[in-house]
A and B are shown apart, each in its own frame.
Chain A
């Protein structure tokens, strides 16, 4: 395709790209997700060279911890599924967890002891801003117009087809619009008279003051909600959970941050004297099945790439690639076919909440 413009309300990378905790992994449960995220991971592995811009993709591994017996079952299930899908995955027992990340408190006496974990060694982190800037430079060189500080005010339709965009900088005529507006996806959809199966909620993150290397991998824990890694600059990068209410304020409640740090100190008591340097919030668009939408819509020429919830950054190169394919061909690629919007009608959801951890 030629004659492409990117319209951005603020500044590029200023939304969730610049606010996320930069974790990259592909160890998802279902085949469809595995295909999607692994496609992205493969692109990540050569992205700096492809863009000639160092995105600092660092494969320092991502470990997911289990804290109860159902966690163990779920993580083993995921490990087996990953292995058969060609995604590197290892199940670690408690001793192996400790060996891989010695600063975790693996004592059996803590409230929710670490019972094991999984490890994806190819997973890791990247420098979020660099990804946005590297792609922007690449796109710019290929003739894409990047228009910042330009807010979309309306989507013009001609019957069931799109006709163009009304923006704060004027009208843009086009017959194809791809929307990648993350937390604001519904706002754009509503302009076109569409409703999406999304709720936009606050998600918060924080960093500590920088210190010398102390944790050399990414550790995530769902049951004791905390995940942490250390940036190249030395800051501990810590992700919190979402609030339960809809909000576009880019602020969340302090309880969430406090709960996250409770969990961090439960697993890493050595961090008690570390200090929070900066804390912020973003808006995440959450799908009922915790999987994204990369799909055509009932309006011809209008496409959505949304619903990434708390985990879109890791898929960036893959989702962009597949979304481009979908827009260019007006057909999904086989890797994103399952992520169509119609699955909410048929019931063929891609539930990545993990097995519901309900105990009996």
Chain B
């Protein structure tokens, strides 16, 4: 189980957190303008990356804050953690 360095609380056990899937998928500003295909792309389609993934986590049993994480999904190594709205620190 991971140790996650919550940007607001510091290092905590993984069991305090909830994963929220791929990050940086912005909710369309004008959903009504989208075709069914485009809407499905937003709603369901995922890169589901093996390797370096940018993803969302929530400190659900702590400060309840959402934040972003860069993690290698092939070995679960956490590379970086940054707040919502911040630029990803690594590319």
Contacts and interface: CB of A to CB of B under 8 A. Distances in A.
Do A and B pair up? The answer is yes
Interface of A: 184, 186-187, 190, 195-200, 243-249, 251, 253-255, 285, 288, 344-346
Ranked nearest first, the 3 interchain pairs of A and B with the lowest CB-CB distance are A186-B48, A245-B19, A197-B44
Contacts, number: 73
Contact of A248 (B37, B44, B73): B73
Contact of A197 (B2, B15, B19, B46): B46
Contacts of B39: 345
B41 A246 contact: no
Interface string B71-82: 001111000000
Interface residues of B, number: 27
B19 A244 contact: yes
B45 A255 contact: no
Contacts of B19: 243-246
A195 B50 contact: no
Most buried by B among A198, A245, A247, A285: A245
B66 to A, nearest CB: 14
If over half of B's interface residues share one DSSP class (helix, strand or loop), that class is named, otherwise mixed; here it is mixed
Nearest to A251: B76
B53 A246 contact: yes
29 contacts: A184-B50, A187-B48, A190-B47, A195-B46, A195-B47, A195-B48, A196-B48, A197-B44, A198-B46, A199-B21, A200-B50, A243-B19, A244-B18, A245-B55, A246-B48, A246-B55, A246-B73, A247-B73, A247-B76, A248-B73, A248-B74, A249-B76, A253-B1, A253-B14, A253-B15, A285-B48, A345-B36, A345-B39, A345-B40
A118 B32 CA distance: 44
A254 B1 contact: yes
Given A190-B49, A253-B1, 12 more contacts: A186-B47, A186-B49, A195-B45, A198-B48, A200-B48, A246-B21, A246-B22, A246-B55, A253-B2, A345-B37, A345-B39, A346-B36
